[in-house]
Amino acid sequence: MQTALVIGASGGMGFALVNEIVSRNLQVKAFARNKEKLVALFQHHKNVEIISGDAFNEQDLMRASKDVDIIFHAISFPYQDWEKLHMRCVDMVINIAERRGAKIALVDNIYAYGRPSTNPVIEHVRKEPLTKKGQIRLTMENKLKNSNVPSLIVHFPDLYGPNAENTILYETLKNVVQSKKANFVGSMQVKREFLYTVDDAKAMAELALRDDTFNQNWNVPAVHPITGEELVKILREITGYKKSIRIVSKGMIQLIGLFSPSMKEVVEMFYLTEEPVILSGEKYEKEIGALPSTSYRVGLEETIAWMNERALKSF
């Protein structure tokens, strides 16, 4: 039986990966800094070993990685810390994987693709990052490819789903659920991709548990691109939400960024709301099979149900 270590297990993607791997009757070590959150998320899973620790502490990662076959790198950091922390973290994970003889599966985004010349974007297109954050993601990719560790890199668009709180769509969902005036970042008319974390975890686990998928890049697109207007229509039908939606423009983010370091860092990525990268899933479908494809309605229903359940438990 294979054993997987998920670094960043308390985040949205890490949470989905742990649940998916456990559903395949495999052993999982769920690693993150906050033990209380790990316990709250995974205490009912018998095949999950909860390990709290620091991803920058070699002893913590060595302890967590004992007897693991594959390490899922699902950890991310606040935008303002990317330059300082992402390189250190990927170097540490590569070092640990080399010493343990483990493989690495990296959760990646679309930033390294830059501004798309054509959509949908295939894996072999030349990557020309438009932003500092895109260059950081490309550097992480190259570090993995130049190491001695078997690795796979999976590109996802914007995410949403249970426990996925550090996402652009969560900023809309949290206020809809609370029946407050909600924000939507970017144009409501431009079609973009939002991928349900349950689907991306299924696709990534399938790739990581095969032997012929490593040392490659893989795209996992959403079920289809969708406009903000279409998303809000679905949300209104699901929840009965009747308030208006405030459109957050680039200018608004620039203004907020004068007082907020995290929002200041959002500005350079705003182009993706105007010229979105749409991923091609052709390679996955040709070599692996059908992509998981939960509809937006079902994905949003399940996400909102999870949010409501967590809110009830917090009382």
- The whole-angstrom separation of Cα 76 and Cα 125 is 25
All structural domains of the chain, each given as residue ranges with its CATH number in brackets, are 3-165+193-223+279-294 (3.40.50.720)
Question: What φ, ψ does residue 251 adopt, rounded to 5°?
Answer: -60, -40
pLDDT (0 to 100) of residue 264 = 76
Say if residue 315's pLDDT is above 60. no
Q: Residue 258's pLDDT band (boundaries 50, 70, 90)? A: low
Say if residue 266's pLDDT is above 90. no
Q: Are 306 and 160 in contact (CB under 8 A)?
A: no
Assign 121 to helix, strand or coil. Answer: strand
Over residues 232-249, the pLDDT tens digits come to: 999 999 999 999 999 999
Q: Residue 2's pLDDT band (boundaries 50, 70, 90)? A: confident
pLDDT (0 to 100) of residue 310 = 83
Give, for 237, the enclosing helix (H) or strand (E).
helix 228-239
Q: What angle do CA 211, 292, 306 make, to 5 degrees?
A: 115
Helix (H) and strand (E) counts in the chain: 13, 11
One-letter amino acid at 52 equals S
Q: Residue 117's pLDDT band (boundaries 50, 70, 90)? A: confident
Beta bridge partners of residue 6, listed in sequence order: 30, 72
Give, for 14, the enclosing helix (H) or strand (E).
helix 12-23
Across 144-167, average pLDDT: 97
Q: Over pLDDT 90: what percentage of the chain?
A: 87
Over residues 181-236, the pLDDT tens digits come to: 999 999 999 999 999 999 999 999 999 999 999 999 999 999 999 999 999 999 99
Say if residue 284's pLDDT is above 90. yes
Q: Residue 19's pLDDT band (boundaries 50, 70, 90)? A: very high
> Is the entire prediction scored with pTM above 0.85?
yes
pLDDT (0 to 100) of residue 115 = 92
Say if residue 1's pLDDT is above 60. no
Q: Over pLDDT 70: what percentage of the chain?
A: 96
Say if residue 262's pLDDT is above 80. no
Q: What angle do CA 253, 254, 255 make, to 5 degrees?
A: 90
Q: Which residues contact 145 (CB under 8 A, 6 or more apart)?
A: 151, 215
Q: Are strands 3-7 and 182-185 parallel, antiparallel or unpaired?
A: unpaired
Tokens of 153: 């890199």
Q: Residue 255's pLDDT band (boundaries 50, 70, 90)? A: confident
Query: Any idea what DSSP says for residue 122?
Result: P
- The whole-angstrom separation of Cα 136 and Cα 60 is 25
Name the residue among 144, 121, 162, 160 with its Cα closest to residue 71.
144
Q: Which residues contact 250 (CB under 8 A, 6 or more apart)?
A: 267, 270
Q: Are 33 and 70 in contact (CB under 8 A)?
A: no
Q: Residue 99's pLDDT band (boundaries 50, 70, 90)? A: very high
